Amino acid sequence: MLMQQLVNGILLGSTYALIAIGYTLVFGVLHLVHLAHGEVFMIGAFVGLQVVLWTGAGGPIAVVAALASCALLGVLIHLLAIKPILSRKGHFLAPMISTIGVGIVLQELATRRFGGEQHGFPSRMESVTWHFGSLTLSSVQAVILGISVVLMLALHLFVTRSRIGMAMRATAESAVISHTLGIRTDRIILLTFAIASALGGAAGVLVGMSYNAISPFMGVEMGIKGMAAMLLGGLGNIYGAMLGGLIIGIVEVFSVAYLASSYRDAFAFVIMIVVLLVRPKGIFGSVHHVEG
């Protein structure tokens, strides 16, 4: 029972982690909370649904489609709604308000295209269930977990091993100095938006597959959880976001199983606030990101 809950928690947490990584990547390079990221996640889910409906392809193809289209969406959001503001001397929260506007637009467009109700997600996959002792794991769950792990591993290798990944970390450390040293920070920021949004879009398809229900309003709640996970791990730290996502997923599943299911959405935030009181910078947070 305990092990089963832990597996369920890790499954849920891995999608939170993917979303939180997106928030934290963007925060790292721009010190901006991208409040439309939850809606990018939602668009990813609908792109996946559309691809499955049109081509009859399976989950992995839908994930690839969502990755690609959300990467493009993220770049567009940066170019149209964030970059023009950054180039002017405004209030430091102005870009954040702008992303709220983007979120409203994306939500409205999805509602107009698909309607406000929930949609099922045809999984087109033979659902096999494996039993390991008392532990059960369905093939859908295995695919979800596999894709999340592969994506996070790929990101880890990218930021630690590749030159562009290093440039990305350098830009997050200090955009000005990186620029002086010859890193094209403009391109790095675009790339960061592409990667962050792609991961969010992939998470959308994964959540669609696991709950078999998506709606244009799913982005708000997921976005809030993703932000909590990012904060828990420490702003701007991708490993913190992964850990934060897992913690929030596990806490949520355990609170449903052992405490009161109707409070499931509150426990995650209680944990977040408690951690912040003990460690105001989050688990892996560093000092230089604290300044708002």
Residue numbers at the binding site for other proteins (CB under 8 A): 27, 31, 33, 35, 80-81, 84-85, 88-91, 93-95, 97-98, 100-105, 107-109, 112, 220, 224, 227-228, 230-231, 235, 260, 262-263, 265-266, 269-270, 272-273, 276-277, 280-282, 290-292
3-state DSSP assignment of residue 214 = strand
Degrees, nearest 5: CA angle 45-49-53:
175
Nearer to other proteins, 166 or 224 (CB): 224
Residues 6+ apart with CB under 8 A from 179: 185
Nearer to other proteins, 31 or 179 (CB): 31
Nearer to other proteins, 97 or 150 (CB): 97
Rounded Cα distance between 284 and 261, Å, is 30
CB 158 → other proteins: shortest distance, Å? 25
Nearer to other proteins, 139 or 286 (CB): 286
Radius of gyration from C-alpha coordinates of the chain: 19
CB 89 → other proteins: shortest distance, Å? 6
CB 137 → other proteins: shortest distance, Å? 30
Other C-beta atoms lying within 10 Å of the C-beta of residue 149: 11
Residues 6+ apart with CB under 8 A from 90: none
CB 43 → other proteins: shortest distance, Å? 14
Contact between residue 32 and residue 96 where contact means Cβ atoms under 8 Å apart: yes
